[in-house]
Amino acid sequence: MMNKVYTHCIDDGHGGTDPGAVGKRSTHEADINLAIGKIVGRIMTEQGQKVIFTRTTDKFLTLATRADIANKAGCRTFTSIHCNSAAAIDAHGIETWSFTNSVEGLKLSKVVQGELVKTTGLTDRGSKQANFGVLRMSNMVAILVESAFISNTNEEVLLMQAEYQEKVALGIVKGIFKYLGLTFNQSIIKTTPIIIKVAATKIDQNILQIQQICIKLGVNDHFGNRVVADGIDGPNTQSAKAKLKLFLTNILK
């Protein structure tokens, strides 16, 4: 049985003069959003669905313009893609939002959230509702996906990886298909890595050695995250260094 064909709007958050949140490695949220959005569009098209984008290049669009593009196209679903950010360096996980009091939006967000947790393996921060303008102004069922915390050193590394971007995109599409009662054909999935260019960061060899020691000894950061051996003295590494110092002090007593 053939799937019914719908038109879906993919909204890659931020762009142009608005880079969105910026990670420790100078990774721009807008770039990550665009990369994931293009993969979502590719998978949707492979599965026989129609897709429109609010943007396919690094340009700024108002929230009203984004919603207007989807409304004029008569889209069935609207998915806004973002990266999360928080002042707390240990904030982590994935979450999906819908417009306040939108029954169908909540249904879609719950299904997509469930698929995202399955495909990425990240902490489930749940399905939430808020009065986000881009969701409020969209006439169709609409969600906003926070694909991981770009402010978290470890999750920023994930967001930069084509493999992780593919997992997020796959979770989004599978969730939308499940919500609409469509059959997802896993056998036709193709992988096309999309590389994100980020600013070069100077590697500190001393920090790199400490990180490698932490990994060998199994010393994680204060939240239990494995240290990344990248030579950057970020908040996760600083936390792990403090635990390493305590660890060595105790065994040398």
Rg (CA), the chain: 20
Domain containing residue 224: 205-251
Pick 214 or 165 by higher pLDDT: 165
Overall domain count for the chain: 2
What are 198's two structure tokens? 């980020």
Give the integer Cα–Cα distance in Å for 176 and 170: 10
Query: 157 and 148 in contact (C-beta within 8 Å)?
Result: no
Q: Is 1 inside a domain boundary?
A: no
Q: Is 195 inside a domain boundary?
A: no
Q: Is 237 inside a domain boundary?
A: yes
Q: Residue 54 contacts by C-beta under 8 Å, 6 or more apart in sequence?
A: 9, 10, 11, 12, 61, 65, 66, 69, 70
Q: Is 246 inside a domain boundary?
A: yes
Q: What percent of the chain has pLDDT over 90?
A: 71
Q: Is 200 inside a domain boundary?
A: no
- The whole-chain average pLDDT of the chain stands at 90
Q: Does residue 217 share a domain with residue 153?
A: no
Q: Does residue 184 share a domain with residue 210?
A: no
Q: Does residue 155 share a domain with residue 32?
A: yes
Which of 4-18, 66-80, 190-204 has the weakest average pLDDT?
190-204
Q: Does residue 180 share a domain with residue 70?
A: yes
Q: Looking at residue 223, what is its pLDDT?
A: 63
State the CATH number of the domain containing residue 153.
3.40.630.40
Report whether pLDDT(9) > 70.
yes
Q: Does residue 231 share a domain with residue 171?
A: no
Query: 151 and 86 in contact (C-beta within 8 Å)?
Result: yes
DSSP result, 158-202: HHT-HHHHHHHHHHHHHHHHHHHTPPP-GGG------PPP-----
Q: Looking at residue 133, what is its pLDDT?
A: 96
Q: Does residue 151 share a domain with residue 53?
A: yes
Q: Tell me: the pLDDT tens digits for 190-213?
A: 755 444 444 444 557 788 788 778
Would you place residue 240 in the very low, low, confident or very high pLDDT band (cuts 50, 70, 90)? confident
What mean pLDDT comes out for the span 5-13? 98
What mean pLDDT comes out for the span 122-129? 97
Pick 235 or 123 by higher pLDDT: 123
Q: Is 193 inside a domain boundary?
A: no
Q: Does residue 232 share a domain with residue 157?
A: no
Q: Is 170 inside a domain boundary?
A: yes
Which sign does the torsion angle of CA 26, 190, 188, 122 carry?
Answer: negative
Q: Does residue 126 share a domain with residue 56?
A: yes
What mean pLDDT comes out for the span 227-253? 74
Domain limit, last residue, from 138, 160, 188? 188
Q: Does residue 210 share a domain with residue 183?
A: no
Q: Residue 22 contacts by C-beta under 8 Å, 6 or more apart in sequence?
A: 28, 29, 150
Which of 39-43, 64-68, 215-219, 235-239 has the weakest average pLDDT?
235-239
Q: Does residue 90 share a domain with residue 44?
A: yes
What mean pLDDT comes out for the span 219-231? 72
182: how many CB neighbours lie within 10 A of its CB?
18
Q: Does residue 209 share a domain with residue 117?
A: no
Q: Is 146 inside a domain boundary?
A: yes
Q: Does residue 176 share a domain with residue 209?
A: no
Query: 89 and 77 in contact (C-beta within 8 Å)?
Result: no
Q: Tell me: the pLDDT tens digits for 127-151?
A: 999 999 999 999 999 999 999 999 9
What mean pLDDT comes out for the span 151-174? 96
